[in-house]
Amino acid sequence: MRPSAKLARKINFLLMSLSLLAWVLIFFKSGDKLEIDVCRTIAPKGFDLNFINVDSIMKLGGQWWAWSLMVLAMMSPKLILPLQQLAALSLKRLRFSNCILFVLGYLSSWSLASLPLLLLSPMIQRQELSGYLSASLVLIVALIWQCSPYKQYCLNQGHQHKIIRAFGYQSGIDSYNYGLQHGIYCVGSGWLLMLFPMMVTAAHLPAMAAVTFIMFSEHLQNPRPVKWRFDLRLQLLTYLYYLVMRSLSVKLGRNI
């Protein structure tokens, strides 16, 4: 079941606007300075119990906010298709609340994933390795994961659209669970890719942009057999190429 063209355009606009707003906040927060450093993470040096204090908790809260902003910037475009499907399945009076609950469920899964990732990143950085070497090692492992059948399984599951109940609180529960389940498979497919920008201290914003491009591209692919394969997953580049060529052909046809 598909939503109307008008509803689909509204969902596209809202999610792309949300992503753009998050990118703007990351770039230009407080006087055109990048004060949200999503690459630096807070972790105790050793097992000193003095680490657990108000200051560290405040810093960890700031890191969680930066992480949430990073997820909104990078993941919002990936929610276009599932939200369109959810909106088409929902009653009109429950459509908005169901979509909000779906997004909350999706963010819940990434919030849970932030805990091990925010701890894993400084553990790798504290090793006696240069920043570029540690980032390169993470990138190599991420590329291996990109080719693995486990990655393809998570991507395939992300294409499964759940049927929700139509009425009452059951509809909201199903919407939240749908978002949570969708987020879990997104985490499973992209957790190593999300770790890579956190390791790049000098160019983390370009790294974020590159990872966003790859993750959105792989979401555009149809489900495939679960097996090892080498795939750059640049479907978005192909889509943009055909979109530009089609626009050019239409303009040339009008001129002729």
Report domain extents, the chain: 5-255
Predicted pLDDT at 158: 87
Q: Compute the mean pLDDT over every residue in the chain, rounded to the nearest whole number.
A: 79
CA dist., res. 164 & res. 82, Å (int): 12
Instruction: Give the Å distances, CA to CA, from 28 to 20, 41, 122, 192.
Output: 12, 20, 25, 27
DSSP H helices, 126-256, are 131-147, 149-158, 168-199, 204-220, 235-255
Evaluate whether 109 touches 184 at the Cβ level (below 8 Å). yes
Q: How many CB atoms lie within 10 A of CB 198?
A: 26
Burial class (CB in 10 A: 0-12, 13-18, 19+), 148: middle
Predicted pLDDT at 57: 53
**Which of 55-69, 140-154, 194-208 reaches the highest mean pLDDT?**
140-154
**Which of 57-66, 113-122, 207-216 reaches the highest mean pLDDT?**
207-216
CA dist., res. 42 & res. 57, Å (int): 9
Q: Name the residue with tokens 């570029």.
A: 132
Q: DSSP state, 50?
A: G
Average pLDDT over residues 218-228: 87
CA dist., res. 226 & res. 154, Å (int): 9
Average pLDDT over residues 176-182: 93
Q: Which of 186, 71, 185, 196 is nearest to 143 (CA)?
A: 196
Predicted pLDDT at 180: 94
Average pLDDT over residues 219-235: 83
Higher pLDDT, 100 or 35: 100
Task: Enumerate residues 6+ apart whose C-beta is below 8 A from 36.
Answer: 25, 26, 29, 65, 66, 69
Predicted pLDDT at 41: 45
At residue 44, does pLDDT exceed 60? no
Instruction: Give the Å distances, CA to CA, from 88 to 2, 95, 98, 105.
Output: 6, 8, 11, 18
Which tokens is 107 given?
């963010």
Average pLDDT over residues 183-199: 88
Instruction: Give the Å distances, CA to CA, from 106 to 10, 134, 156, 179.
Output: 20, 29, 17, 4
Which of 24-33, 195-204, 230-239 is predicted least confidently?
Answer: 24-33
Predicted pLDDT at 134: 80
Average pLDDT over residues 15-21: 91
Query: Residues for the chain: how many in total?
Result: 256
Which of 76-90, 127-141, 173-187 is predicted least confidently?
Answer: 127-141
pTM (two decimals):
0.80
pLDDT band at 255 (very low <50, low <70, confident <90, very high): low
Predicted pLDDT at 43: 43
Provide, for the chain, the percentages of residues in helix, strand and coil under a 3-state DSSP scheme, each rounded to the nearest 5. 75, 0, 25
